[in-house]
Amino acid sequence: MKQTIGIVGAGLVGKAVAHLAVAAGYQVVISNSRGPESLFELMKELGPLARAGSVEDAIAAGDIVSLAIPLATFESLPADKFAGKVVLDQTNYYPGLGDFRRADLDRGELTSSELVQRHLRGAKVVKGVHNLGWHHMQYNARPQGDAERTTLPIAGDDATAKETVTRFVQAVGYDVVDAGSLAESWRIEPNTPIYFWPYVPAIPAGLTEREAKRLYLQPGKPLSPVAARKLIDSTQRPSPIGGTLQGLPPIHVALFLELASADTVQR
């Protein structure tokens, strides 16, 4: 019997994870801050394997609980409800966006996933499926053995939890490499070589915005486990720490802002 994936956050990332999970045969319980009734249209897209619930419902039901939320909201999570849960941390630190900034993260005293783990003390946090955009999270997925299958990194402190997340990521369409502990997860954070850019197609100069968008929505080139390992091992810690819009493909930023301005981004 397939596991259940609980998803906290029904924005662009949460929806992508939900689509991948149901396509692989997982049960899904997805939640957001607006309440289950706001997810009616999404439920029609996802089909009978998915249901909408409260945040507490998603946590309770999930064999793996995905955090598809802005890092800035981590303290609103009901920490006691996560005891014993395997948590897939998809959050990223972007200090230039909004008003969330922490000196301990800026100084590199801990990683963003260590911060999440500190709040969710009884959980088993694994960083992963955080280093590519929502489009390519779905478009790049390929079955086992496909020549175009690409590789995603994970990091965590609990070996069994990492095995659980690895099996899930493999089932939804990706090879996996282990990037180490949560303390080492800076190697796969924003502005590192394995973050975002390896998963998107190259956009030639001279295209119109419409042409660039059409090309950008195509799958990126595959990244082998060997190549992914080399990127991780050769990484130096970024300075300053944290992601920036300038560190993302401009066409991705344009698409995100377009969707956000249309109020289609559900948290």
pLDDT, one tens digit per residue, over 72-87 is 999 999 999 999 999 9
Let me know if residue 266 belongs to a domain: no
Average pLDDT over residues 202-213: 90
Nearest alpha carbon to residue 179 among 164, 167, 162: 162
Domain count, the chain: 1
Residue 105 located in a structural domain: yes
**Pairwise CA distance, residues 108 & 110, whole Å:** 5
User: Cα separation of 31 and 193, whole Å?
Assistant: 32
| Mean pLDDT value across the chain | 94
The reply to whether 267 falls in a domain is: no
pLDDT per position as a tens digit, 162-204:
999 999 999 999 999 999 999 999 999 999 999 999 999 998 9
Q: What is the pLDDT of residues 216-235, one digit of tens each?
A: 989 998 999 999 999 999 99
Distance from C-alpha of 237 to C-alpha of 255, rounded to nearest angstrom? 28
Tokens encoding 222: 């595959």
**Taking 80 as the threshold, does the pLDDT of residue 262 lie above it?**
no
How many angstroms separate the CA atoms of 36 and 53, rounded? Answer: 5
Q: Is residue 87 part of a domain?
A: yes
Domain with residue 131: its CATH number is 3.40.50.720
Residue 142 lies in a domain: yes
CA separation, residue 127 to residues 10, 39, 207, 231 (Å): 18, 26, 36, 17
Measured CA to CA, the distance from residue 46 to residue 23 in angstroms comes to: 9
Strands 124-128 and 175-178: unpaired
- For the stretch 87-131, pLDDT in tens is 999 999 999 888 899 999 999 999 999 999 999 999 999 999 999
- Residue 233 lies inside a defined structural domain of this protein: yes
Answer yes or no: is 195 within a domain: yes
Three-state DSSP string of the chain = CCCEEEEECCCHHHHHHHHHHHHCCCEEEEECCCCHHHHHHHHHHHCCCEEECCHHHHHHHCCEEEECCCHHHHHHCCHHHHCCCEEEECCCCCCCCCCCCCHHHHCCCCCHHHHHHHHCCCCEEEEECCCCCHHHHHHCCCCCCCCCCCEEEEEECCHHHHHHHHHHHHHHCCEEEECCCHHHHHHHCCCCCCCCHHHCCCCCCCCCHHHHHHHHCCCCCCCCHHHHHHHHHCCCCCCCCCCCHHHCCHHHHHHHHHHHHCCCCCC
pLDDT of residue 260: 61
pTM of the full structure = 0.94
Full domain range(s) for residue 31: 4-261
The whole-angstrom distance between residue 189's C-alpha and the CA centroid of its chain comes to: 11
Return the structure tokens found at 265.
Answer: 């981004």
Residue 186: is it exposed, middle or buried by C-beta count within 10 angstroms (0-12/13-18/19+)?
buried
Give yes or no for residue 140 having a pLDDT over 70: yes
Nearest to 69 by CA among 112, 115, 32: 32
